[in-house]
Chains A and B, each alone.
Chain A
Amino acid sequence: MENKPGALMRVTGLFSQRGYNIESLTVSRTLDPTLSRMTITVDVEQNVRAQVIKQMNKLINVLQAADVTDGPAVNRELVLVRVRINQQTRTAVLKEAEIFGARVVDSTTEGFCLEATGDPEKLDEFIDVMRSYGEIEATRSGIVSVSLDNKKLRLSPPVPRGAAPEEVLELQGAE
């Protein structure tokens, strides 16, 4: 996606306009600061998914939208969990955190703040386990994905301004 004002609004607006519910959304700059990458999670049927992708590809600021549901891809999420502890639960919570590969990012006598990353299902389990120790507060980042396919970004070439529509057709047809 081009990193332009309003680009994010176009994407989120498209979802609400067409009645798709966004489960999670992450967005950040890429190595090229003029571009951003978004990862969007939606819970829809396969044919609707194809429609979502097509509609997104129509947005002029979107360079390419792709479905990574079925393709080879790595999906990761981060969660920050604040959990209350007492003398009895302190060691057990630390042990559980270790099992999930979570790090302690803040520690007081009253509780921990734990940071875990992984695939979203693993984080669901981590949160469930932590909840068993009492009241918790969890903030999830939303999923970030990277496709493992070797797809090249296909971009449209420049066209001369004011070219007759037929000439533009020729130029655009060269794909």
Chain B
Amino acid sequence: MSNLLSGAKILLNCLAAENVDCIFGYPGGVTLPLYDAMYDDPVKHILVRHEQNAAFAAQGYARATGKVGVCCATSGPGATNLVTGLVDAMMDSIPIVALTGQVSSKLMGSDAFQEADTFGITRSATKHNFLVKNIAELPQVIHEAFYIAASGRPGPVLVDVTKDAFQGQAHYTPVKEIHLPGYRVFTEGHGGQIRRAAQMMWEAERPYIYAGGGIIAANASDELRALTEALDAPAVCTLMGLGALPAEHRNFISMPGMHGSYAANMGMSHADLLIALGVRFDDRVTGRLAAFAPHAKVIHVDIDPAEVGKNRQPDLPIVGNVKRVLPKLVAELEGLAPSMKAKNAGSRAAWWKQIRAWKEEHPLTAETSPNEIKPQHLMAEIDRLSGGRAIVASDVGQHQMWAAQLIRFNEPRLWINSGGLGSMGFGLPAAIGAQFARPDKLVFAIVGDGGFQMSIPELATIVNHSLPIKIVVMNNGYLGMVRQWQELFYNNRLSEVTLSSFPDVEKLAGAYGFKGRTVDSVKEMPDALRAAVNEPGPYLLNVKVTPFENVYPMVPAGGAINEMVLRPPQPVEV
């Protein structure tokens, strides 16, 4: 029969049917049949230098587009190296499909070479996972994996395929239907609840919109904007939600939470109605939960029923997709009389006045110094070059918080960071995935000197594909965020946070065949950044910033979010 194909070829056909255009991966023993089939398959395979970065790059791709990212690794160490990237995708609800090889089904359980219990290990690291030993199941499972990853609350799905399933031959029949009887997705929201929610919004005197990564995941930015404007309420976007509402929108305040702005956190603490959209009341946003938004009734819209009431019991829950629910809310609001604008006009105006006063009292502005490069100054310069339009992939730590505070994002899917898991080493590989997904976009990878050193191997991947990524190392010579906590909460006993022996980046980039430079003069920094952006290829810019700067405002762990520390307690002497 002409359509008798190997399992490996069938898998590639399924990927083609899912419109997969690139796979981030690393080959190995049991995936040899798959890589052999790839040899003459049109799919683009990006050879990364470590499997963890395959998962991060797949995430970067998914975060920049909303499409499912794909990564691939061999059995044993290949699969275990993926785990951090999977948990990271799970925490931030990012759709990726991970394909792993497994030893032959006859060898499974015998502690064979490069055997690991991938199915068991990744159970809690994924939204769902599969083990395929039988070639007949392969097409159905692959399509189910993509469906599960992308639908409902998105997340990572892993498919572990045995070597004999790759090698076996079978007839390939395209799959027409996905049937997962136990997989329920709630999208529409309850009509009565939506009506009551609109009523509550109409009655509120101090409404406040708290929007998160769910808006980005649902591609519901326009819908969020429509609701924000219909209500004319102040809105904050969480670390995961930055760009959901354009940073320059007049209703946008900033990011709330541990390193959120004064106005954003004061607004939360004084609102009488909190409209929580695609958020999970994460501890980094709420601070001490018992003291969070104490005066507010809460409307919580989320696609995941388990998020509703998990941390804060809402007064009005709506389980549904924000993309479907928000337009219905707007329609309900428009039907109410007197109109939203006329109702409570006085108290709404007073609320806005108060919000503006908080913004002016302690604005989020980048400090500069004439003699040294403040990290905030660096972020402000990147912001100027981006103009709210560049993709910024960040690593984890102080630079991440300053970037989130000071770089504007006027569109969704520009700000790419590891929010929930906080995985160092995320930024650079995520930038690679994002640049593959959006070759038209200017992509910055903003990394610390710590996280960068976890990602150096991927410079080879960048060079191989001539990706014009602008890598900006915010180099303070420390694991800055850990040091900040040691200074503040561990009596300034700086334990194992000094990063000496950072490489000469000019030589490092040169060794990989591209340009790099270190800048430590505040006068040269803006031009150095511009030169990096104007370089047609990749660029590695190492920026030596003031070492002892800390991120403020800061809500100490366990504190209420209106109890922010706005400035350092006293200047820290070196």
Contacts and interface: CB of A to CB of B under 8 A. Distances in A.
Nearest to A7: B182
A61 B182 contact: yes
B566 to A, nearest CB: 35
Nearest to A10: B123
A154 B323 CA distance: 24
Given A9-B123, A58-B304, A169-B187, A161 B177 contact: yes
Nearest to B66: A165
B176 A57 contact: no
A159 B178 contact: yes
A87 interface: no
B177 A58 contact: no
B131 A6 contact: yes
Interface stretch (A48-56, A74-82, A113-121, A136-144): A48-56
Contact of B309 (A17, A47, A154): A47
Interface string A164-175: 010011001101
Q: Which of B17, B123, B150, B183 has the most CB of A within 10 A?
A: B183
Given A160-B177, A173-B187, A57 B305 contact: yes
A60 B305 contact: no
Interface in B212-231: none
Secondary structure dominating the interface of B: loop
Interface string B257-277: 000000000000000000000
Interface in B164-200: 175-188
B304 A51 contact: no
A67 to B, nearest CB: 14
Contacts of A2: 181-182
A156 interface: yes
Interface in B295-324: 304-306, 309-310, 313, 321, 323-324
B120 interface: yes
Contacts of A156: 180-185
Given A51-B310, A169-B321, A63 B181 contact: yes
A55 B309 CA distance: 12
Contacts of B184: 57, 154, 156
Contacts of B202: none
B177 A17 contact: no
Interface in B44-79: none
Interface string A18-55: 00000000000000000000000000000100110011
B187 A161 contact: no
Interface residues of B, number: 37
Contacts of B124: 13-14, 17
B147 interface: yes
A165 B185 contact: no
A123 interface: no
Contacts of A60: 128, 148, 180, 182-183
A173 B188 contact: yes
Nearest to B323: A169
A2 to B, nearest CB: 6
Given A60-B148, A63-B182, A172-B185, A51 B123 contact: no
B100 to A, nearest CB: 15
B24 interface: no
Interface residues of A, number: 37
A15 B18 CA distance: 34
Interface in A125-163: 154-162
B182 A155 contact: yes
B119 interface: yes
B117 to A, nearest CB: 10
A161 B19 CA distance: 12
B143 interface: yes
Nearest to B319: A54
A72 interface: no
B137 to A, nearest CB: 11
Contact of A6 (B123, B147, B179, B183): B123
Given A13-B124, A162-B18, A165-B150, A175 B182 contact: no
A159 B324 contact: no
Given A10-B123, A51-B306, A158 B177 contact: yes
Contacts of B182: 1-2, 59-64, 155-156
B522 to A, nearest CB: 47
A5 interface: yes
Interface in B7-60: 17-18
B151 interface: yes
A158 B306 CA distance: 23
A83 B143 CA distance: 56
A159 B183 CA distance: 11
B123 A54 contact: no
Contacts of B313: 47
A154 to B, nearest CB: 7
A58 B306 contact: yes
A130 to B, nearest CB: 40
A173 B319 CA distance: 12
Interface in B100-156: 119-120, 123-124, 128-129, 131, 143, 147-148, 150-151
A50 B180 contact: no
A22 to B, nearest CB: 16
B405 to A, nearest CB: 33
A29 to B, nearest CB: 16
A134 B279 CA distance: 58
A160 B313 CA distance: 36
A12 to B, nearest CB: 10
Q: Which of A9, A154, A162 has the most CB of B within 10 A?
A: A162
B187 A158 contact: no
A156 B183 CA distance: 6
B132 to A, nearest CB: 11
Interface of A: 1-2, 5-6, 9-10, 13-14, 17, 47, 50-51, 54-55, 57-64, 154-162, 165, 168-169, 172-173, 175
Q: Which 10 A-B pairs have the closest CB atoms?
A: A54-B306, A155-B181, A158-B179, A63-B182, A173-B188, A158-B177, A172-B185, A60-B128, A60-B183, A173-B187
